[in-house]
Amino acid sequence: MQIRKRPRRTALLAMVSAAATAATGLVFASTADAATTLGASAAEKGRYFGAAIAAGRLGDSTYTRLLTTEFTSVTPENEMKWDATEPQQGRFSFTNGDRILNQGLSNGSKVRGHALLWHAQQPGWAQSLSGSALRNAAINHVTQVAGHYKGKIYAWDVVNEAFADGGSGGRRDSNLQRTGNDWIEAAFRAARAADPAAKLCYNDYNTDGINAKSTGIYTMVRDFKARGVPIDCVGFQSHLGTGIDSSYQANLQRFADLGVDVQITELDVQQGGNQANIYATVTRACLAVARCTGITVWGIRDSDSWRDDNPLLFDGGGNKKAAYTSVLNALNAGGTTTPPSSPPVTTSPPPSGGGACAATVSLNSWNGGYVATVRVNAGSAPVNGWTVAVALPSGSAVTSTWNATATGSPGTVSFRNVTYNGQIPAGGHTEFGFQGTGAGPTATPACTVT
């Protein structure tokens, strides 16, 4: 992100669409037993309330007191980024990331992983790579870091800030983007393979309403869902100025309607006339969207912030600000929608047929590796189960698979449906994928109904 700590205020304000002012009618909880901390109140609504934290501040007793009493999720502000976790290629450093992880887990908090791939805060060695060398290094980074934290991270920002600002709605130019437009889906697939339990998020800023940038991301997420690219959530950073777009909630809702969770991931708001109201508006928007699973503020006290305009909920002395009270009241007052605790499972009676199937494969290859996406097509009769045999060239091996189980690598690998995608209606299709080393398959796979 272009904005640096202590930025010029005009730069920050330019990020923010001030198309509408915040709603002003706060509703205050009046019950004597209203929750008295952000985390407890959010939990009553089935959500977390988190903060970005820094390992270097964990020795500050005021900081840790606020952290452990108020927050139920932590995000490392810098400690799990590429430059921090892989300072030299292939040499990983998890000391500070682990400190954040352990702080969160020991407090019973969720841990949001931030961020596996980003054009910023890359180590120097990665900045000097390009093409397949960079692609391989990036995918290896995802695999190693997500693998190190396997089973412990609630949600990963797999890719951060890959879309351009302005009206194009397209991708940002970066060394990662220049490895090929499929770098984002390759990253998500590698992350799923490395940590199947973590929710996988795309995270960005200036997406605080329905605008060209958020629509570009929306189109990508819709495409990923249609093609079976594993994505579970979208993070809305929400670095806000003096206004908030009137379509803030509608924007969250349209993403949720695609079948992904949404999360407010880096909330901070310029101090000024509207700070408390804007915080409340964001809180109410999350409560109103069933798939908004939580809110994270980007720091605890104003003095901890990357910004110079006192954008957080506690002042430099650790005292609660009006913005704090506004958020707590909004949490206590509102929210009738509950996020699902796990993705909805739909069941349908098995189709009666057992007809033929056919498979096609598409490849995204780089020097030394590939990601294969296989489409399984049912014929004119429904299919109850399937296997697809894929012949691999000599030297090729499958390293991870999604939406199928694989047996027999190397040579001919047999991929069998998993429980949720064995049944394909007549004329329908499903997709699975795998990642491999060496050259990808070139022959048409053989599909057999089972």
Per CB under 6 A, 11 contacts ligand G3I:
no
Contacting range for ligand G3I; rule: CB under 6 A; set: 1-9, 187-195, 363-371, 437-445:
1-9
Comparing CB distances to ligand G3I, the nearer of 1 and 217 is 1
Token pair in block for residue 303 = 């003095």
Which of 27, 120, 426, 443: binder of ligand G3I (CB under 6 A)? 120
Comparing CB distances to ligand G3I, the nearer of 76 and 335 is 76
Comparing CB distances to ligand G3I, the nearer of 56 and 427 is 56
CA 45 to CA 130: how far, in whole Å? 46
Per CB under 6 A, 309 contacts ligand G3I:
no
Strand, coil or helix: 420: coil
Comparing CB distances to ligand G3I, the nearer of 77 and 431 is 77
Per CB under 6 A, 5 contacts ligand G3I:
yes
CB of 172 to ligand G3I, least distance (A): 13
Which of 1, 200, 269, 361: binder of ligand G3I (CB under 6 A)? 1
Q: Which residue has the tokens 């006192």?
A: 310
- In 3D, which of 121, 79, 124 has the Cα closest to residue 97? 79
CB of 432 to ligand G3I, least distance (A): 33
Per CB under 6 A, 72 contacts ligand G3I:
no
Give phi and psi for 158, each to the nearest 5.
Answer: -70, -45
Token pair in block for residue 275 = 């700070």
Please give the residues from 188 up to 227 whose contact with ligand G3I meets the rule CB under 6 A.
Answer: 205
Per CB under 6 A, 431 contacts ligand G3I:
no
Which of 48, 154, 236, 306: binder of ligand G3I (CB under 6 A)? 306
Which of 208, 266, 304, 431: binder of ligand G3I (CB under 6 A)? 266
CA 85 to CA 34: how far, in whole Å? 41
Per CB under 6 A, 121 contacts ligand G3I:
yes
Comparing CB distances to ligand G3I, the nearer of 162 and 287 is 162
CB of 233 to ligand G3I, least distance (A): 16
Per CB under 6 A, 185 contacts ligand G3I:
no
CB of 370 to ligand G3I, least distance (A): 30
Per CB under 6 A, 3 contacts ligand G3I:
yes
Per CB under 6 A, 237 contacts ligand G3I:
yes
CB of 100 to ligand G3I, least distance (A): 13
Comparing CB distances to ligand G3I, the nearer of 237 and 384 is 237
Per CB under 6 A, 322 contacts ligand G3I:
no
CB of 51 to ligand G3I, least distance (A): 12
Per CB under 6 A, 145 contacts ligand G3I:
no
Quickly count: other Cβ atoms within 10 Å of residue 135's Cβ: 25
Token pair in block for residue 234 = 């979208």
Quickly count: other Cβ atoms within 10 Å of residue 197's Cβ: 10
Comparing CB distances to ligand G3I, the nearer of 237 and 329 is 237
Q: What is the 3-state secondary structure (H, E, C) of 52-97?
A: EECHHHCCCHHHHHHHHHHCCEEEECCCCCHHHHCCECCECCCHHH
CB of 178 to ligand G3I, least distance (A): 20
> Pairing state of beta strands 397-402 and 110-118?
unpaired
Contact 252, 286 (CB under 8 A): yes
Q: Which residue has the tokens 């006339």?
A: 273
Query: Looking at the annotation, which residues are catalytic?
Result: 266
Q: Which residue is nearest to ligand G3I (CB)?
A: 306
Contact 158, 142 (CB under 8 A): yes
Comparing CB distances to ligand G3I, the nearer of 309 and 431 is 309
> Pairing state of beta strands 199-204 and 155-160?
parallel
Per CB under 6 A, 77 contacts ligand G3I:
yes
* Number of residues lying near ligand G3I (CB under 6 A): 12
Token pair in block for residue 252 = 């969250």
Token pair in block for residue 143 = 């695999």
Task: State how far the alpha carbon of 295 is from the alpha carbons of 5, 35, 45, 188, in Å.
Answer: 22, 17, 12, 22
CB of 267 to ligand G3I, least distance (A): 11
Per CB under 6 A, 78 contacts ligand G3I:
yes
CB of 390 to ligand G3I, least distance (A): 39
Contact 280, 326 (CB under 8 A): yes
Token pair in block for residue 177 = 């983007």
Residues contacting residue 58 through CB under 8 Å, at least 6 positions apart: 64, 99, 103
Angle among Cα 156, 169, 286 to the nearest 5 degrees reads: 45
Strand, coil or helix: 40: helix
* DSSP summary character for residue 369: E
Please give the residues from 330 up to 359 whose contact with ligand G3I meets the rule CB under 6 A.
Answer: none
CA 271 to CA 275: how far, in whole Å? 5
Q: Which positions lie near ligand G3I, rule CB under 6 A?
A: 1, 3, 5, 77-78, 120-121, 160, 205, 237, 266, 306
